[in-house]
Amino acid sequence: MKKADIFKRRDDISWKIIEDRAVLVDDAEGKVFQFDTVATEIWICLDGHFAVSDVIDHLTHTFEVSLQQAEKDALSFINRLSSLDLVIQADC
């Protein structure tokens, strides 16, 4: 994954925010996912408009964490979402 890559949530994943946490339902797989607040912020950013680098910058400002920590968290979580087939790389 490159920092210039842009990802978007799959259109067929239902989700909502409950008490600052995203809850997702993947009907195709019959799975439910619940994210913590950092993961929820990343999930919200994955709308097909922001590059991974933008997500990292957003995390540094929102949570007042170091660039290195934000990068580690974002890359790890986006990789995990991709491996679960919850996000896809957006066409640019």
Interval 43-92: pLDDT, tens:
999 999 999 999 999 999 999 999 999 999 999 999 999 999 999 998 75
* Whether this model's pTM surpasses 0.85: yes
Three-state secondary structure along 50-89? EEHHHHHHHHHHHHCCCHHHHHHHHHHHHHHHHHCCCEEE
pLDDT category, 28, cuts 50, 70, 90? Answer: confident
d(CA 54, CA 45) in angstroms, rounded, equals: 9
d(CA 7, CA 46) in angstroms, rounded, equals: 6
Say if residues 66 and 52 touch (Cβ distance below 8 Å): no
- Predicted local distance difference test score (pLDDT) of residue 1: 83
Q: How many CA within 13 A on the CB side of residue 15?
A: 22
Domains of the chain: 6-86 (3.90.930.60)
